Amino acid sequence: MVAATMVYPAISIVTQEAEDWQAAFREWLDANGLRPLTVAAYLQDVRHFARYFAGVNGEAFRPSLLNSMDVRAWWRAQEDAKNAASTRNRRLASLRALVRWANEAGRLEGDPTEGIRRAAKRQGPPRSHEDVWGRLAETAAATVHVKKQTEKHRWLGLRDKVIFGLMARAGLRIGEVAGLDVDDVDLEALELRVLGKGGVEGKVLLPHSLADDLRAWLAVHPGGEALIVNWQGRRLSTAQIRRRVKMVGEAAGVPLRPHDLRHTYIYRLLDAFLQGGMAMPVALDAVRQQARHGDVRTTQAYLRARYSQVREAVERI
Higher pLDDT, 85 or 141: 85
Determine which one of 122, 235, 259, 268 is catalytic.
259
**Is residue 146, in this structure, part of any structural domain at all?**
yes
Structural domain of residue 135, as residue ranges?
126-306
Number of domains present in the structure of the chain = 2
**Is residue 113, in this structure, part of any structural domain at all?**
no
| Residues paired with 193 in a beta bridge | 203
pLDDT band at 128 (very low <50, low <70, confident <90, very high): very low
Residue 88, CA distances (Å) to 46, 49, 77, 166 in order? 12, 11, 10, 30
Q: Can you give the CATH number for the domain in which 84 is found?
A: 1.10.150.130
Both 90 and 158 in a single domain?
A: no
Both 177 and 259 in a single domain?
A: yes
Q: Among this protein's residues, is 263 annotated catalytic? A: no
Residues present in the chain in total = 317
Q: Is the pLDDT of residue 4 over 50?
A: no
Q: Is the pLDDT of residue 218 over 90?
A: yes
Mean pLDDT of 56-70: 93
User: Alpha-carbon distance 266 to 287, whole Å?
Assistant: 7
The pLDDT tens digits of the residues spanning 228-248 come to: 999 899 999 999 999 999 988
Determine which one of 197, 215, 234, 243 is catalytic.
197
Radius of gyration of the chain measured on its C-alpha atoms: 24
Both 204 and 273 in a single domain?
A: yes
Determine which one of 145, 262, 288, 292 is catalytic.
262
- Spatial strand order in the sheet of 185-186: 185-186, 191-195, 201-205
Q: Among this protein's residues, is 259 annotated catalytic? A: yes
**Is residue 16, in this structure, part of any structural domain at all?**
no
**Is residue 119, in this structure, part of any structural domain at all?**
no
Both 55 and 172 in a single domain?
A: no
Both 56 and 134 in a single domain?
A: no
Residues 6+ apart with CB under 8 A from 251: 139, 144, 145
pLDDT in the model for residue 307: 56
DSSP string, 114-136: TTPPPPPPPPS-GGG-HHHHHHH
Q: Is the dihedral of CA 260, 233, 211, 290 positive or negative?
A: negative
Determine which one of 173, 221, 244, 263 is catalytic.
173
The pLDDT tens digits of the residues spanning 155-165 come to: 988 999 999 99
Determine which one of 127, 145, 161, 293 is catalytic.
293
Both 71 and 197 in a single domain?
A: no
Q: Among this protein's residues, is 262 annotated catalytic? A: yes
Q: What percent of the chain has pLDDT over 70?
A: 85
Neighbouring C-beta atoms of residue 89, cutoff 10 Å: 17
Q: Can you give the CATH number for the domain in which 270 is found?
A: 1.10.443.10
> How much of the chain is in helix, strand and coil states, percent to nearest 5?
60, 5, 35
HEC profile of 258-275: HHHHHHHHHHHHHHHHHH
Q: Among this protein's residues, is 173 annotated catalytic? A: yes
Both 168 and 288 in a single domain?
A: yes
Mean pLDDT of 265-276: 86
Q: Among this protein's residues, is 121 annotated catalytic? A: no
The pLDDT tens digits of the residues spanning 147-202 come to: 666 788 889 889 999 999 999 999 999 999 999 999 999 999 999 999 887 778 88
User: Alpha-carbon distance 153 to 141, whole Å?
Assistant: 14
Work out the burial of residue 252: count CB atoms within 10 Å of its CB; fewer than 13 is exposed, 13-18 middle, 19 or more buried.
buried
Ramachandran quadrant class, 83 (left: phi over 0; alpha: psi -120 to 50; beta: rest): beta
Both 59 and 159 in a single domain?
A: no
Do 280 and 274 form a contact (C-beta atoms < 8 A)?
yes
**Is residue 100, in this structure, part of any structural domain at all?**
yes
pLDDT band at 47 (very low <50, low <70, confident <90, very high): very high
Determine which one of 42, 265, 267, 302 is catalytic.
302
Smallest CA-to-CA distance from 65 within 101, 22, 102 is with 102
pLDDT in the model for residue 305: 61
Both 160 and 225 in a single domain?
A: yes
Tell me the pLDDT of the chain averaged across its residues: 83
- Report helix, strand or coil for 34: coil
